[in-house]
Amino acid sequence: MSELTHMRADGSAHMVDVTEKPESTRTAVAEGIVRTRADVVARIFEADLPKGDALPVARIAGIMGAKKTPEIIPLCHPLPLGGISVDFERLADGIRIEAAVKTRGTTGVEMEALTAVSCAALTIIDMIKAVDKLAVIEGVRVLGKSGGTSGDWSVS
């Protein structure tokens, strides 16, 4: 177990000490999809839902989620987030959500990007549940990251 960074030799969990790591600019991009019916997609993009205009609300929820990540994910470091964007792409059967998060620090922002996407997706589900009780969230994943000692990577 000593090879796992969040585990002590006795098996108990702890927060990794990153104080000696060098600071660098770090970014992460994540995505997720809310699958729903085509008529519901149209209503979302026309801002014609019983609860109101879903996309601006979901964008704010995503931004707030990224900022609150260390409060809801155990052992996640609080970071000074320098930039957060949450964008939406219309699909025939849903909405693709993409979040990008940036910081200058000693640890990455992958969890913040994933949390932003998840919070935005959950908000869309909440905003459309009156018109589609069967909508689902799928494919939440990190698309790539940059900065830090482990280097840059992306799905291609």
> Among residues 105, 113, 117, 40, which one has the least CA distance to residue 77?
105
**What top-level class would CATH report for the domain 24-148?**
alpha beta
- Tell me the pLDDT tens digit for each residue of 9-24: 777 877 888 888 889 9
> Among residues 76, 151, 66, which one has the least CA distance to residue 102?
66
> Among residues 81, 88, 75, 84, which one has the least CA distance to residue 29?
84
Tell me what the mean pLDDT of segment 57-67 comes to: 98
pTM of the model: 0.92
Domain map (residue ranges) of the chain? 24-148
Please indicate whether residue 126 is annotated as part of the active site: yes
Q: Cα Rg for the chain, rounded, in angstroms?
A: 17
- Choosing from 10, 53, 126, 132, which is the catalytic residue? 126
- Tell me the pLDDT tens digit for each residue of 120-154: 999 999 999 999 999 999 999 999 999 988 889 99
SS3 33: strand
SS3 93: coil
Please report the pLDDT score of residue 4 as a whole number.
Answer: 54
